Amino acid sequence: MDAVKLITFDCYGTLIDWENGMLEAMRPLFGNGDMARDIELLALYGDVEEEMESGSYMSYRQVLSNTVREMGSRMGRRITQEDGERFAGSLITWEPFPDTVAALKRLAARYRLGVISNTDDDLFAETKKKLGVEFDPVVTAQQVKSYKPSRRNFREMLSRAALPIEQILHAAQSVYHDVIPATELGLKTAWVNRASIRPGAGAAKAAVGQPTVEVKTMAELADRLLV
């Protein structure tokens, strides 16, 4: 890790607590249930979102809306277009994990920080206000018209970073969206394996990868790097 000069991050799930954010927005649509229901919602969300993102490109707002409506169809719940749009709009209210901002500020004192996010520019612009640091580069799905795990998103970051690949570390919660494709391209990877009611995956599609390092929080990542 001594060679690292740039750390790029996934945003939602790694820096932002998307699991609790989306559950809070989904529960009124699907009925407040117990933990088993919440786990069911997260697992179905991960599978359906992956299906939506693997087809022809659409905005992330549309992905979110279509995902929750398709979940309703599979669970026998009527989710209207307005419901879907409201769910998509809730993303800007999702908050950072308690350790995120302090860890980012610590890391920014030594490293250049970047973001590779499956989102729209305007949505990330609102989220960025909560994070307290600057990011360069910022690669969104909207900019490249594809969603991770597409290698295109990572190659765009590498082009903009203008650094040797050994000087870049990519940190993320999702093995499926981030760890696997980044590792295949030769990037160092940090799996931020956040605590979740659905261990190892959260709201992402479940997968198995081989990260360079595994940590539980952003605070732990900062501790590991700033020695």
CA distance 209 to 121: 28
User: Exactly one of 2, 10, 120, 178 is catalytic; which is it?
Assistant: 10
CB 174 within 8 A of CB 203: no
Q: Quick one: 65 exposed, middle or buried, by C-beta within 10 A (0-12, 13-18, 19+)? A: buried
Decide if 10 is catalytic. yes
Give the neighbor-by-neighbor strand order of the sheet with 6-9.
138-140, 112-117, 6-9, 168-172, 188-192, 213-215
Per DSSP, what are the bridge partners of residue 189? 170
CB 162 within 8 A of CB 156: no
CA distance 86 to 8: 30
Active site residues: 10
